[in-house]
Amino acid sequence: MSLLLLAVVTTGVAPTIHYEETQYFRQAWLWALLVGSGIPAALLGIGAVVADAEASTNAPLWAAVVLVVVFGPLILFSRSNLQIEVHDDVLLLRLWPFHLRARRVPLGEIDSITAMEISPMGDFGGLGVRIEPTFYRWGIRFDGPVGYIVEGNRAIRITRTDGRELVVTSTDPHTLVRTVERVGESGR
């Protein structure tokens, strides 16, 4: 169910969407890693089923089960996406299928918002919903900003009025920043 349809169903009024964007995990290195590790796992699983099969065992069925278990999550992951929407009073973030409902950042709680460049692996240690690690003398703390890291190295950094920070990748961060600033100012 899209975020717009969800808002219409719950409130009965269609909100004005000032900005929307959808990002997918399309990095070639990520898919090479996932598929490259899935093929040996599938071959080993099918080999184990065939080697241990007795005459009465339905080996093709079990081989199909192995394929579904190994490659099923890849199919789901290929459809996963980050949806970003700016409405009249809120910024909505939803990493489907991991978030059942959109995460809400009320525009009135945004103290500052800036466009920036990030290194997904260097700053956050990967892709997805991440917490930026902070290195200190005795180790690592995970008290940095929460990151929604999906596509590319361009992002926005949001500092909320309570001091919490949020980093979100964006295909057009400058337009997103201008939209949040414009809509946030008109709502005050």
Kindly list the domain boundaries of the chain, sorted by start residue.
3-25+80-186, 28-79
Is the pLDDT at 142 greater than 90? The verdict is no
Task: Return the higher-pLDDT residue of 186 and 41.
Answer: 41
The pLDDT-based confidence of 57 (bands split at 50, 70, 90) is: confident
130: which strand partners?
147
Pair of tokens at residue 4: 């717009």
Tell me how far the alpha carbon of residue 117 is from its chain's centroid: 18
Give 37: exposed, middle or buried? Use CB within 10 Å, 0-12, 13-18, 19+.
exposed
Distance CA 105, CA 107 (A): 6
Identify the pLDDT of residue 14. 63
> The domain at 3-25+80-186 falls in which architecture?
Roll (2.30)
The pLDDT-based confidence of 188 (bands split at 50, 70, 90) is: low
Distance CA 181, CA 110 (A): 9
- HSE of 183, CA atoms in CB hemisphere, 13 A: 24
- What is the percent of the chain with per-residue pLDDT over 70, rounded to a whole number? 90
Is the pLDDT at 37 greater than 60? The verdict is yes
Tokens 């709680």 -> residue: 109
Distance separating the N- and C-terminal Cα atoms of the chain: 30
Give 82: exposed, middle or buried? Use CB within 10 Å, 0-12, 13-18, 19+.
buried
Is the pLDDT at 12 greater than 70? The verdict is no
Alpha carbon dihedral 92, 96, 101, 107, in 10-degree steps, equals: -10
Identify the pLDDT of residue 11. 57
Identify the pLDDT of residue 173. 93
Pair of tokens at residue 155: 């992002």
Nearest to 84, CA basis, from 95, 68, 70: 95
Predicted TM-score of the model (pTM): 0.74
Distance CA 166, CA 83 (A): 15
